[in-house]
Amino acid sequence: MDLSNLNAPEPNKKKAKRIGRGQGSGRGGHTVGRGHNGQRSRSGFKEKFWFEGGQMPLQRRIPKWGFNNIFRTDYVAVNTGTIQLFIEHDKLGETITLEDLRDAGLAGKGDLVKLLGDGEIEAAIDIEVHNASDSAQKKVEDAGGSITFVEN
């Protein structure tokens, strides 16, 4: 079987109701299923999807606040405790590159990685990240490891 042999199921073969073809068509005759008068009954009527019939639209009713910094650098946070867990379960080795973090599922393709100091680490690791907190640097160096910073 391939796509050229497929047939539509029976309910899909139902003919569309013909509107605007008189009283015998079963679709209203002179009003053609649009009701009487009003904006929506006119020919050529198109409605924007956010239009609410003249009521103040939702996007204008909701208060606006805050500031979005377009120059902000977003990092994916990876904690030292998480690294230790992954090492204990043999998902990461002693030398950890950005590729290793992506393969382990801790970061995605194109993500910037920041190492944070939540949790303890006993393994002496050599890790490659874009940024690291002071506490994470201290914990890694105290365990006998090192951190290499990669350019964004």
Indicate the pTM of the whole model.
Answer: 0.60
* pLDDT, tens digit, 9 for 90 and up, residues 92-114: 999 999 999 999 999 999 999 99
Q: What is the fold, at CATH topology level, of the domain defined by 75-149?
A: Ribosomal Protein L15; Chain: K; domain 2 (3.100.10)
Say whether pLDDT at 69 is over 80: yes
The string of DSSP letters for 71-140 reads: TPPPEEEEEHHHHHHHHHTTSS-SEE-HHHHHHTTSS-TT-EEEEE--S---S--EEEESEE-HHHHHHH
Q: What is the pLDDT of residues 112-125, one digit of tens each?
A: 999 999 999 999 99
Q: Which tokens is 121 given?
A: 């680490």
Would you list the domain boundaries of the chain? 17-46, 75-149
